[in-house]
A = this chain, B = another copy of it.
Amino acid sequence: MIAGFFDRLAAAIERSGSRLCVGLDPHLGGVPAEELAAFNRRLIEATAEFACCYKPNIAFYEARGEAGMRALRETLAAVPPDLPVILDAKRGDIGSTAEAYAAALFDDLGADAATVNPYLGHDALAPFLQRDDRGVYILCRTSNPGAADLQDLHVETASGERLPLYLVVADYARQWNARGNIGVVVGATYPRELAAIRIRCPELPLLIPGVGVQGGALEEVVETAENGKPAGFVVSVSRAIVEAARPGEDPFVAARAAARRYRDAIAAAARARR
């Protein structure tokens, strides 16, 4: 029997002593498609010791066409088997289309987990959630400025509560979590919202992007997210690792040092909390 995603993630966190998720997001205009797989392979080799998982955002590979998608496949193959891969795809569609997306991400590409968008509701997520062996991170409160447009709107719930939409989504995530394979995405750039989610859903695993270049404050975020659970949270860092090198510096040496620093900073903040 294959363990569930969060068991595998917890094992990787335990083994590595790290809650660092390394984002593999090759921005356009950077490494060309033909060199991407080799670049990512070296990046993974350089950082694997300090990471608990990897998170490629599929957009950057799709934008490079066939060569990009080939590079994604080779990148996924280069991740050590004991480190889970979260494919950041933010998918959401209905019925048979949702099934096709789940098949594309989990079966064709072989991701261990995927990010999904909640706007279309429970049936759009069902083909993802049905997979006991895979993880699903539902977008809850994202790290971008426009997140407030919808996610912060105040909503009347069936029980008469008045809640921001992102907390309604957190409630749904908990309610839909019959198989224990759901987490939520919460941006580090909004620590107050992160705290509200953690208070409302103390058990829910968090995937936290927005540290590093986006400017989220690491210590505050970790202290808020820490819930004593093995897979309670991971912090995702992409550019601040992948593009850590100063001019003339070896990108992989710099990435390795940055990954180590993030692992240690997260661990120190988590210890301070306990």
Contacts and interface: CB of A to CB of B under 8 A. Distances in A.
A27 B96 CA distance: 7
Interface string A141-171: 0111111111101111100001001001100
Closest 4 CB pairs of A and B: A121-B146, A121-B149, A123-B146, A94-B144
Contacts of A191: none
Interface of A is mostly: helix
A150 B168 contact: yes
Contact of A119 (B27, B64, B151, B154): B151
A44 interface: no
A contact residues, range: 35 or more
B146 A63 contact: no
Contacts of A96: 25, 27-28
B165 A150 contact: yes
B101 A63 contact: yes
A101 B151 CA distance: 21
Most chain B CB atoms below 10 A, which of A59, A125, A157:
A59
